[in-house]
Amino acid sequence: MENTKKIHPADRIATLPKYVFAQLAELKQEAIERGVDVIDISIGNPDGATPRPVVDMATKAIQDPANHGYPNFRGKIELRQAIADWMKKRYNVEIDPRNEVQTLIGEKEGLANIALAYTNPGDINIIPDPYYPVLCRGTLIAGGNPYFVQLKEENKFLIDLSDIPSDVAKKAKMFFINYPNNPTGAIAPKSFLEDVVQFCKEYGILLVSDLAYGEVCFGDYRPYSIFNIDGAKDIAMEFHSFTKTFNMAGWRCGFAIGKEEFINNLYAMKSNMDYGTSTIVQDACIEALNMPMCHVQGIMDIYHGRREVMARGFTELGFYAPRSDATMYFWIKIPSKFKSSMEFTKYVLDKTGVIVTPGSAFGSLSDDHFRVSLVQPNYRIEEVFKRFKEAGIRYE
């Protein structure tokens, strides 16, 4: 007799929001199949090539049989030393390469795993809205409760600590921040970071700083590491990515730094979930960190030029699109005639073949915005605004 019992997924699957970027990929593919010349300025997927020295090192590393086995769980000591040297050179921060560094298969998995390592079911984690999705998803997967704090334009998209009730702060386990910020492009002054560190020390909260855009900055602006703040080492971790800095999105590599206790707990979670970053990729990362900064500056110069074209194009159409000193994004309000950011996104794709990211991808409090990325060459960005003008898409 056939068993009629249904097989159900875990309850956490039902509680996870749909990943909007997956939905955008589906919409893009449908448009392409209809013959549309799609211009995708939604996802922050670098379109440039990885610097040649990094590629050459990976080519050499893949031919070494010693790199064909399982990698070291923590990451090669040579890579951890290169990371410590990089932090000293770029941020004047001292890091112990043996005990205060954990390599990652991309920063995203590290941010999810640290939430799993520290969040019990029912725990509260403080998360800004808008937010990079994984800053929330790790908490949800762990059975925790996100407490969202709205990033307000009038506050330059900095978290207003007074918006966090004291009873929430007393119960909170983790506090996630991301400056330079995705998606708003906001930057954080040192005084703000000092206030956040003091807040977390007062309430005994683990502060997680996502510094994925630490090198994506323009002019004379340089962001701070959280470890430039006195006392941060006691309560903070910082997560870095090779994706935007070195055009290495597909390589899947990043790292976390912090005091030994925090790194050990992240290591305990990861070593039960994966085998670590490919040794071949690790060798490439060492080369990336050690090569002359002119390679990185060349990438940033390209983004800077695109930023000017993008800002001018949106401004001519009536959108408020201020230039940020960092990141590869513009965070822009949708025209008032649209009820939601997804409605606006679908309308733009249907009328122009251009894909933008709806603000709802970054939180329920952000549905009145959309995000665009500097991931197309200038002539394609100019084509975006030509199509917008022809379709009558303006801010009104």
Contact by Cβ (8 Å): 190, 227: no
3-class DSSP state of 107:
helix
Sheet with 369-373, side-by-side order of all strands: 329-333, 369-373, 357-358
Q: Note every long-range contact of 23-26, with CB atoms under 8 Å and residues 24 or more positions apart, other chains counting.
A: 24/345, 24/355, 24/357, 24/361
Length of the chain as a residue count: 396
Sheet with 145-150, side-by-side order of all strands: 101-104, 254-258, 236-241, 206-210, 172-177, 124-129, 145-150
Contact by Cβ (8 Å): 166, 198: no
Q: Tell me what pLDDT residue 4 has.
A: 73
Q: Tell me what pLDDT residue 1 has.
A: 60
What fold characterizes domain 52-290?
A: Aspartate Aminotransferase; domain 2 (3.40.640)
CA angle 21, 266, 203 (to 5 degrees): 90
The architecture in CATH of the region 11-49+294-391 reads: Alpha-Beta Complex (3.90)
What percent of the chain is helix, strand and coil (3-state, nearest 5)?
A: 45, 15, 40
Contact by Cβ (8 Å): 223, 211: yes
The full set of domain ranges for the chain reads 11-49+294-391, 52-290
Q: Looking at the chain, which runs of residues are DSSP E strands?
A: 39-40, 101-104, 124-129, 145-150, 172-177, 206-210, 236-241, 254-258, 329-333, 354-355, 357-358, 369-373
Of 117, 197, 196, the C-alpha closest to 149 is 196
Contact by Cβ (8 Å): 144, 123: yes
Q: Looking at 117-202, which runs of residues are DSSP E strands?
A: 124-129, 145-150, 172-177
- Interatomic CA distance for residues 52 and 16, integer angstroms: 39
**What is the residue-level pLDDT of the chain in tens, covering all 396 positions?**
667 778 888 888 877 777 778 888 898 999 999 999 999 999 898 999 999 999 999 999 999 999 999 998 999 999 999 999 999 999 999 999 999 999 999 999 999 999 999 999 999 999 999 999 999 999 999 999 999 999 999 999 999 999 999 999 999 999 999 999 999 999 999 999 999 999 999 999 999 999 999 999 999 999 999 999 999 999 999 999 999 999 999 999 999 999 999 999 999 999 999 989 999 999 999 999 999 999 999 999 999 999 999 999 999 999 999 999 999 999 999 999 999 999 999 999 999 999 999 999 999 889 999 999 999 999 999 999 999 999 999 998
Q: Tell me what pLDDT residue 20 has.
A: 79
- Classify strands 39-40 and 354-355 as parallel, antiparallel or unpaired: parallel
| 130 cis-preceded (ω within 30 degrees of 0) | yes
Q: Which residue has the tokens 């394609």?
A: 380
The pTM of the full predicted model, rounded to 2 decimals, is 0.94
